[in-house]
Amino acid sequence: MKTIKILSIVLGAAIMSSCNNKSITNKSLKTEIDSVSYAIGMDVARNISTTATEIDKDILIQGLVDASDSTALKIEKDKVQQIISTYFQNKQIADRKKQQEEAAKKAEEQFADVKAAGEKFLEDNMTKEGVEITESGLQYVVEKQGAGDKPTAASTVKVHYHGTLTDGTVFDSSVDRGTPAQFGVSQVIPGWTEGLQLMAVGSKYKFFIPQGLAYGATPRPGGAIKPFMPLVFEVELLEIVK
């Protein structure tokens, strides 16, 4: 947005000059204002080349000329800002998706052994006695069945939990801290969101969460959880807060 506004000012001045002088001459830089003017032009060109590479400069200039001369406009004035905002919002989403896909591809190559080990763990675990499997691939064992209500995705719950890697390494535990955790059911990883809704208040379940329902290729940098690791949680549902 800022880039477009600056570009409009600069090109607007250039167009006015062109209209008055018929052509824009190749001027030398004699004064400080000359240098500043030229530097702004260079900066705008640099910004446009990195933030709006798809913009057709000829059509952009046509829009400036039409607006300056009050000629018939091809877009209604009250729709201008929405068109610009929508373009840059969509571009930001597309750029972010591309970055995520590239990061996932790189992680696939770097942590292929971790992913394979996690898949083998879940394959072996699903054959053990008492292990239930949901359609999404979430595995769980009912250690204690409560008699209370079940939360929904819109609920806020209070729980005690103990989280480990498949080798037993503890990475997070409200039990060890001695303080229950409270959060929205839909504000956690997908495996938790699904698993909590299986539980009645007073229940204690053990969840074996596939990496696709956990942090996938992008866990928190520097933590114990590596990309594509499945996670194990013991969860006790203490209360549905609301």
The answer to whether residue 15 is catalytic is no
Among the options 161, 205, 208, 228, which is catalytic? 161
The answer to whether residue 84 is catalytic is no
The answer to whether residue 233 is catalytic is yes
Closest to 218 measured CA to CA, from 97, 95, 104, 102: 104
Question: 71 exposed, middle or buried (CB, 10 Å; 0-12, 13-18, 19+)?
Answer: exposed
User: DSSP 3-state assignment of 55?
Assistant: coil
Among the options 121, 228, 233, 240, which is catalytic? 233
For residues 190 and 211, the answer to whether their CB atoms sit within 8 Å is: no
The answer to whether residue 205 is catalytic is no
CA distances from 64 to 26, 76, 152 (A): 22, 14, 53
Among the options 48, 66, 87, 171, which is catalytic? 171
User: DSSP 3-state assignment of 154?
Assistant: coil
The answer to whether residue 161 is catalytic is yes
Distance of CA 46 to the CA centre of its chain: 27
Other C-beta atoms closer than 10 Å to the C-beta of 230 total 26
The answer to whether residue 183 is catalytic is no
Instruction: List phi, psi (to 5°) of 173.
Output: -160, 115
Among the options 48, 55, 84, 189, which is catalytic? 189
Among the options 40, 84, 172, 183, which is catalytic? 172
CA distances from 57 to 69, 80, 102, 116, 180 (A): 18, 17, 30, 50, 58
Among the options 215, 225, 228, 240, which is catalytic? 215
Active-site residue numbers?
161, 171-172, 189, 215, 233
